[in-house]
Amino acid sequence: METAIAYGAMKAGRVPFDPVAFFTHPRTILRLLSWVFSIVVFSCIVNEGYINIGSERLLCVFNKNAHACNYGMTVGVACFLGSICFLILDVYFPSMSNLKDRKRVVLFDLIFSGVASFLWFVGFCFLANQWQATSPDELPLAQGSDAARATITFCFFSILSWAVLTLSALRRYLTGSNTNLFTWQHLDPPPSNARATPYPIPNGGTIVTTNPYQATPFTETLDPQKLTQHRQVAPAF
């Protein structure tokens, strides 16, 4: 009999946590890569994304547009925290016995990954456009140019990683939704040492079952002679 799987994971308590298998899983690797990409994006903007040109006011290297830098940092921090959150959920996901909880986690993963992929795409287009509009005269000694290029590059890498995570979550959700998880095929087989338990039926026969979870029916063997002996006859008038 095939092993029961619900939303891409074994039944709760079936398989113990294996750190090596977890960290070598493709989904975990993608989450770690997305986590690293988000760190690179917002760290580049925080460290070298602002320049000071003849005044105390810091200007964004992306065409002096503060919205571009704020957008990159916001998306980077949000995806950084989201990657950590989903890594923790992936660790505890196999121990979830409630199918509704698993469905909510997979659906949340699908929505978050899809939104993150879209936001990274918008950020890549926005930052690339603003960097293209930036004049070299606005960046003396090419200040922040390397950080700007790294930010745009890792925005593109983040699009790919989150898009693959979106497809992975969509496959898990469709697999869990299309599979009937309440049929006999997903129940554990009876233990090998289960004894055959006879149950009486009204005609004097017995039913033999090896299902240890079947409740005893509320019937008993009835003897017609005993019924005749105990039957009270109404007096004749």
Return the H-helix or E-strand segment holding 164: helix 145-178
pLDDT tier, 59 (very low <50, low <70, confident <90, very high otherwise):
confident
Cα(82)–Cα(80) distance, integer angstroms: 5
Highest mean pLDDT among 12-26, 87-101, 107-121, 221-235: 107-121
pLDDT tens, position by position, 140-150 = 656 778 899 99
Angle at the Cα of 205 from the Cα atoms of 203 and 208, rounded to 5 degrees? 140
3-state secondary structure of 99: helix
pTM: 0.68
Interval 150-171 mean pLDDT: 96
For the chain, percent of residues with pLDDT exceeding 90: 46
| Cα atoms in the 13 Å half-sphere on the side-chain side of 9 | 29
- How many percent of the chain have pLDDT more than 70? 65
The rounded distance, in Å, linking the Cα atoms of 219 and 116 is: 61
In this predicted structure, the answer to whether residue 77 has a pLDDT above a threshold of 70 is: yes
Tokens representing residue 216 in the block: 């005893």
Report which listed range, 51-65, 143-157, 191-205, is most confident: 143-157
> Could you tell me which of 217, 224, 177, 185 has the C-alpha nearest to residue 201?
217
The answer to whether 163 and 110 have CB atoms below 8 angstroms apart is no
Lowest mean pLDDT of 18-22, 70-74, 79-83, name the range.
18-22
Would you mind telling me the total number of residues written for the chain in this entry? 237
pLDDT band at 1 (very low <50, low <70, confident <90, very high): very low
Average pLDDT over residues 84-93: 93
Per-residue pLDDT band at 237 (split at 50, 70, 90): very low
Helix (H) or strand (E) holding 112: helix 99-132
Closest CA to 106 of 25, 8, 5, 32: 8
Q: How far apart are CA 145 and CA 156, in angstroms?
A: 17
Cα–Cα distance list, 152 to 61, 189, 234 (Å): 12, 54, 101
- Tens of pLDDT, residues 92-105: 888 888 888 889 99
Report the chain's mean pLDDT, rounded to a whole number. 77
| pLDDT tens readout for residues 124-145 | 999 999 999 888 776 765 677 8
